[in-house]
Structure 1
Amino acid sequence: MTAITWLRERSELGVSALLLLTGVLVLADVTVAPRSGNAADPLGPNAVPVLLGLLLVALAVLLTVDVLRGGRGEAEGGEDVDLTAPTDLRTVLLLAGVLVATAALIPLVGWPIAGTVLFWGATYALGSRAFPRDLLIAAGVSLATWLVFDALLGVDLPGGPLMGAF
């Protein structure tokens, strides 16, 4: 058995390596750029990143041990998924374009408008052609998320032209 065949039969080790790398990066970030806390927070701002990094490393180790002992992930068994169908590259590229456009638009026009482009573009890419309805729903969802995050949760999302309206 060649090394390539051995690795192909244990492809879950790739997921394990990704988990380990992510965990190590999170832990490295905490040690390289520590955040300072205050007296009101006994755990400090490093507690969650350290916990997350340690959990990712632990999951990577557990998955590696399981795979090396013969454990295998179950193949997709969804009855509504045709595993032999090719990837719809047009849809994937449209969705990728919508994500890139949204990232570019947020600093220029704010979240409410960029979010509308994101939500409407995703519905269009996935096949909906009810333009006025989809646009109104996308605008409503985008505006609602902006209001919840900006006004209620205190997370500053750029408002663009709506900045002074609410």
Structure 2
Amino acid sequence: MTTPTTDLPPEPAGRRSWLRDHSELGVCVMLLVLGALVLTDALTMDVDLTQRGPVGPRTVPVVVGAGLLVVAVLLAVDVVRGGRGRAETGEDVDLSEPADWRTVLLLTGVFLGSAVLIEPLGFPVSGALLFWGAAFALGSRRFDRDPLIAATVSLVAHTVFDNLLGVPLPGGPLMGVL
């Protein structure tokens, strides 16, 4: 006795294997969605049409969103043509080691502390604390050099954003003295 044959589609193993071999397409989809979201948000942004220069508040988000879309398409074409992501060989990362939660928590605390202190102390002070705290959390112990570098970077960033780019940052009590 013979068993009747049915015309069922083949098992989805072939499709699953193709998707597994092209898993980088998930990153392409994520970049595509993110680019569309950034572009949509930038183009529907309510902005004041009087600006101080040729670059308005929409320029950077539009460039970033368009860049994300271009990268998503180029990556998808590369993946479909057989391109594969390779493991990073330049870093000495031992994936069997646990995460360094102390560093993560220190960086989180420094960032949150800076966000809380920016209004009462101003950007120059909170930015210096942010830069110095990040350097400390990442292992720098140069107490003679790090605070000076952090203060310099913070003051330069405040000056560039506040005076040259027209992005007002809170100066705090220190800017009244300077």
Equivalent position amino acid for 2:147 in 1: L
From the CA coordinates, give the structure whose radius of gyration is larger: 2
Given candidates 101, 106, 120, the residue that maps to 2:132 is 120
User: Which residue of 1 is the match for residue 87 of structure 2?
Assistant: 75
Runs of 4+ off more than 6 Å: 2-5, 40-45
Deviation at 1:83, TM superposition (A): 3.7
Tell me the C-alpha RMSD between the 2 structures: 3.2
Deviations 1:127-166 (A, max 9, x none): 1223343223322322232233323443321111123233
Contact 2:43 2:62 in 1 (8 A): no
Cα displacement string for residues 24-72 of structure 1 (whole angstroms, at most 9, x for unaligned residues): 112212443354646x989976565445433322321221232133211
Distance, in Å, in 2 between the alignment partners of 1:71 and 1:7 is: 14
Q: Name stretches of at least 5 consecutive residues in structure 2 with no aligned partner.
A: 1-12
Bigger CA drift: 127-136 or 107-116? 127-136
Match of 2:145, SS? helix
CA distance in structure 2 between the aligned counterparts of 1:51 and 1:137, rounded to whole angstroms:
31
The sequence identity of aligned pairs, in percent, is 54
In the TM superposition, 1:81-100 aligns within 5 A as 81-84=92-95, 85-100=97-112
Match of residue 134 from structure 1: 146
Of the candidates 78, 81, 89, which is equivalent to residue 66 of structure 1?
A: 78
- TM-score, normalised to structure 1's length? 0.77
Flag structure 1 segments of 5+ consecutive residues without an equivalent. Answer: none
Residue identity in the other structure for 1:82: V
Greater fraction of residues in helix: 1
